[in-house]
A and B are shown apart, each in its own frame.
Chain A
Amino acid sequence: MVHKVLSEQGAGGITTTAIRIRESGIERRARFRGLAEPLSLLVALAVLIGVFSLLNERFLTASNIQNVLTQSAIPLIVAVGATLVILLGSIDLSVEGVMGATGMTWILLSNNSRGGADLGPWAWVIALGVALLLGVASGLIFTALKVPSFIVTLGMWYVGLGIATMLYGTDLLPRLEDEGLKGWTSRISLGLPNSFWVALLVIGLGILVLRNTRIGRVTLAIGNSETIVRSAGLPAFPVKVAVFAIAAVLSGLGGILATVQLDIGSPTVGSGVLFIVIPAVVIGGTHLGGGKGGILRTVLGVFLLTILNNGLILSGVESSYQSAVTGAILVAAIVFAAWSQRDRLRVAK
């Protein structure tokens, strides 16, 4: 009896105001948290840039900035796809293989020193088609056969490398002969290198997909809880396959650009990219478990790594110390950038 009276009258007025106060508190806290993480990453980046520009006055010149942007372009493009996959809670290790297969397909179908067919724009279509096939294959094996993405894409890495090596055969290095394309990636248009314009376009599209399309939102939802996605009747299966396909096409695009950049076709055109891309995504603050993170953060992560490499060379750090210094600075940057998101229970796995 007593409860009845209380909950209807005594508590009524108090609770309503309590709710409103709490509701505004929630908003304030959320806004702060949204800013805190990228901010610390930006600070880390700014410190790095500051230190390097003190060590060498050439660091902040237009030509070096353009150089850094050219170097970051390919990892950026690949990292957009990798971010989407990691947001699913999966991982894509196949990037280097896909880059190799796509780059090799493309150059052999373009105007190159080995002769053969010059299909012009169709070379792009077919090469990216190869990437798409590899991505769809990864996605289907991953979703339909429920094989962990780690394993599937590790396999697909070697499938891609195998395709590239087969196409390469034992002939001469295929060199790009198309004068218009040679060196296109690092040419400057409107102040920025062409390849960076491509990267910007990809980043923009990536953000659009993640923020404003069903594929993007369901990707985040799957990363949060696939069980709920399924019980809510959302299309988990097609979205997962689509994300792997998108990631592979972006890796493929990166492979073609890397081939243009180097001017030579090589199965190992993507070597080293995986170890920029995955750390960059993680440094950016995207959780390996999926669901949390974003593309802009990854962009910061890629910049951090590219600037680190460039800056160390420019500031004249002895080459034998470079990898140790890179590692140390990276760990410091991660700890600094991730300070705000430490868990209450401090569980790390």
Chain B
Amino acid sequence: MSLKHNRGALVRFAAIAAVAALALAGCTSTASGAGGSSSSGPIAKEDLVLVASVINTTNPYFIANIEGAKALSKKLDIPLEIIDSQGSSQTEISKIQAILAQGKKVVMFVNTVASSDTPTIVDAVKRAGGYVSIWWNKPDNFEPWDAGDNFVAFQKHPGVDSGRCNAQAIGDALGGKGNVIMFPGVQDSTTSQTRVAGFEAEMRENYPGIKILENQPSNWDPQLANQNAKDLIAKYGDQINGVWSADDGMQLGAIQAFDDAGLLDKVKFASDGLYPDTVKLMKEGYGNNAIVGETFHRGYMASAIGLYTAYLAATGEIVPSELPKEKRTSFFDIKCVTPETLGDYLKYDTPTAAADFVDQLVEKGPWDTEPATLIGGGGPEVLPKP
């Protein structure tokens, strides 16, 4: 008896649920229909909200991203929301959609977790009538000029330059002779791939006496790099003369492993990012000047440039479709740092550095602010021929 009752109730519930779902679907489709008038002229500043989406909130680079976004928010006097993707594309996309659903017009900077997130994010922002700049990762065949004005720009620092710069530092420090191991980041990341390609090309072309023993992808994880370094030390022992890492986090793990093995004095390191900890190690000449080269760029510059470009598009000060292609897919300068030139860059890490940069940025525009000036673009980064 009771069983039958339950089943009846279940059927009724299912019916109601189905109707509700249909109604909901109807709502969303009308909503998107209304928002379909996407890039419709400039938006008043009061209606804007800045959004910065980062991969996590513990890596120094992303912390700097947030810092830059905060500085710009203060400068422009527009509220800011931060999205912490927690390393997951799913989290990233659902949080972005949640903010878009609040109805404000967004000016967004996204450091995408994976290249494949870009079309989804751009599509969502477009439907909500916002403007977005993507940093670092996007599919090669998905260009801003194909996606419309709401995808304002894709921006990055060229990885090939970064790799070449590191290769020169290690090659020179070793006098053109020796063996090197490499720690790329996540294997299928474009950023890592371009840096690896640049490093290998430079070694091949200009340092024929240097042999790359092996590369061990370490997922941007210091702990993993530490372990992999230990294994490679066990494998090659004192044959290793140089170590390259795709970012400073992994380099810190690798340095620790060589330090533990008592080999630090004889090995030279180079990497990308010039994290504050790296600055310290370089300054004190840790381990017989173990770190010989770094590339310099700062997270606050990336986020400020990205957000400001999108902001200009939102307020109508620039019209993306009228911009040249290298201002839609843009490469920004990356500086080579050696222990000798380190002093020139310390000014970018003072407490007011982010605010100072933003002041300059608003004055000079997104493409001409030192040290991150526009140096190229207009299409996917060209990898050197193997």
Query: Could you tell me which A residues sit within 8 Å of B by CB distance?
Result: 56, 58, 61, 63-64, 67-68, 70-71, 113, 165, 168, 170, 172-173, 175, 182-183, 185-187, 258, 261-264, 266-269, 271-272, 309-310, 313-314, 316, 319-320
A94 to B330, CA, bound (A): 42
A50 to B224, CA, bound (A): 25
B58–A267 contact, CB under 8 A? yes
Tell me the smallest distance from the CB of B66 to a CB of chain A, in Å: 7
With A165-B58, A172-B60 in contact, is A262–B226 under 8 Å at CB? yes
- A266 partner residues in chain B, CB cutoff 8 A: 58, 222-223
B237–A261 contact, CB under 8 A? no
Residue of A whose beta carbon sits closest to that of B248: A173
With A267-B58, A319-B217 in contact, is A262–B256 under 8 Å at CB? yes
A165 to B58, CA, bound (A): 7
With A165-B57, A165-B58, A261-B256 in contact, is A172–B231 under 8 Å at CB? no
A173–B221 contact, CB under 8 A? no
Residue among B216, B223, B232 with most chain A CB within 10 A? B223
- A56 partner residues in chain B, CB cutoff 8 A: 235
B276–A172 contact, CB under 8 A? yes
With A63-B237, A319-B215 in contact, is A175–B226 under 8 Å at CB? no
A56 to B221, CA, bound (A): 27
Tell me the smallest distance from the CB of B350 to a CB of chain A, in Å: 14
Apart from A63-B261, A319-B215, list 6 A-B contacts with CB within 8 A: A58-B234, A175-B280, A182-B259, A262-B223, A272-B221, A313-B235
* B63 interface contact, C-beta 8 A: yes
A170 to B60, CA, bound (A): 8
With A58-B234, A272-B221 in contact, is A319–B58 under 8 Å at CB? no
Residue pairs across A and B with Cβ atoms less than 8 A apart, 24 shown, are: A56-B235, A64-B235, A67-B230, A67-B234, A113-B277, A172-B276, A172-B277, A173-B60, A182-B259, A183-B259, A186-B230, A186-B260, A186-B261, A262-B256, A264-B256, A267-B58, A268-B58, A269-B223, A271-B221, A309-B231, A310-B231, A313-B216, A319-B187, A319-B216
B223–A170 contact, CB under 8 A? no
> Interface residues of B, CB < 8 Å — how many?
35
Q: Which of B172-227 contact A (CB under 8 A)?
A: 187, 214-217, 221-224, 226-227
A70 to B229, CA, bound (A): 13
A266 to B276, CA, bound (A): 15
* B252 interface contact, C-beta 8 A: yes
A299 to B147, CA, bound (A): 55
A239 to B216, CA, bound (A): 44
Tell me the smallest distance from the CB of B73 to a CB of chain A, in Å: 15
Tell me the smallest distance from the CB of B227 to a CB of chain A, in Å: 6
B237–A58 contact, CB under 8 A? yes
A272 to B223, CA, bound (A): 9
- B233 partner residues in chain A, CB cutoff 8 A: 63, 67
Tell me the smallest distance from the CB of B286 to a CB of chain A, in Å: 11
Interface digits, B268-295 against A, CB 8 Å rule (1 contact, 0 not)? Answer: 0000000111001000000000000000
* B68 interface contact, C-beta 8 A: no
- B57 partner residues in chain A, CB cutoff 8 A: 165, 170
Tell me the smallest distance from the CB of A332 to a CB of chain B, in Å: 22
> B66, B224, B226, B228: which contacts A261 (Cβ < 8 A)?
B226
Residue of B whose beta carbon sits closest to that of A173: B277
B275–A173 contact, CB under 8 A? yes
Tell me the smallest distance from the CB of A266 to a CB of chain B, in Å: 7
A179 to B75, CA, bound (A): 43
Residue of A whose beta carbon sits closest to that of B233: A67
A173 to B253, CA, bound (A): 13
A113 to B280, CA, bound (A): 10
- B276 partner residues in chain A, CB cutoff 8 A: 172-173
A183–B214 contact, CB under 8 A? no
Closest 4 CB pairs of A and B: A64-B234, A186-B260, A313-B231, A67-B234
> B223, B237, B261: which contacts A258 (Cβ < 8 A)?
B223
Tell me the smallest distance from the CB of B240 to a CB of chain A, in Å: 13
A320–B260 contact, CB under 8 A? no
Residue of B whose beta carbon sits closest to that of A260: B256
> A58, A264, A268, A320: which contacts B235 (Cβ < 8 A)?
A58
Q: Which of B227-258 contact A (CB under 8 A)?
A: 227-228, 230-235, 237, 252-253, 256
With A172-B60, A173-B277 in contact, is A262–B253 under 8 Å at CB? yes
With A58-B235, A63-B237 in contact, is A71–B58 under 8 Å at CB? no
B187–A262 contact, CB under 8 A? no
> B63, B234, B261, B275: which contacts A170 (Cβ < 8 A)?
B63
- B232 partner residues in chain A, CB cutoff 8 A: 313
Residue of A whose beta carbon sits closest to that of B256: A263
Residue of B whose beta carbon sits closest to that of A265: B58
Residue of B whose beta carbon sits closest to that of A71: B227
Tell me the smallest distance from the CB of B371 to a CB of chain A, in Å: 21
A165 to B87, CA, bound (A): 14
Tell me the smallest distance from the CB of A26 to a CB of chain B, in Å: 47
- A261 partner residues in chain B, CB cutoff 8 A: 226, 256
Interface digits, B39-81 against A, CB 8 Å rule (1 contact, 0 not)? Answer: 0000000000000000001101001001100000000000000
Residue of A whose beta carbon sits closest to that of B252: A264
Residue of A whose beta carbon sits closest to that of B259: A183
A272 to B233, CA, bound (A): 21
Residue among A68, A113, A183, A185 with most chain B CB within 10 A? A183
Residue of A whose beta carbon sits closest to that of B66: A170
Residue among B215, B222, B230 with most chain A CB within 10 A? B230
A307 to B57, CA, bound (A): 33
Tell me the smallest distance from the CB of B120 to a CB of chain A, in Å: 25
- A186 partner residues in chain B, CB cutoff 8 A: 230, 260-261
A314–B231 contact, CB under 8 A? yes
- B260 partner residues in chain A, CB cutoff 8 A: 183, 185-187
Tell me the smallest distance from the CB of B219 to a CB of chain A, in Å: 9
A264–B277 contact, CB under 8 A? yes
With A262-B223, A319-B215, A320-B187 in contact, is A168–B235 under 8 Å at CB? no
> A71, A173, A263: which contacts B230 (Cβ < 8 A)?
A71
A266 to B57, CA, bound (A): 11
A71 to B60, CA, bound (A): 26
- A61 partner residues in chain B, CB cutoff 8 A: 234
A70–B230 contact, CB under 8 A? yes
Residue of A whose beta carbon sits closest to that of B279: A172
A61 to B236, CA, bound (A): 12
Tell me the smallest distance from the CB of A252 to a CB of chain B, in Å: 16
A168–B216 contact, CB under 8 A? no
Tell me the smallest distance from the CB of A320 to a CB of chain B, in Å: 7
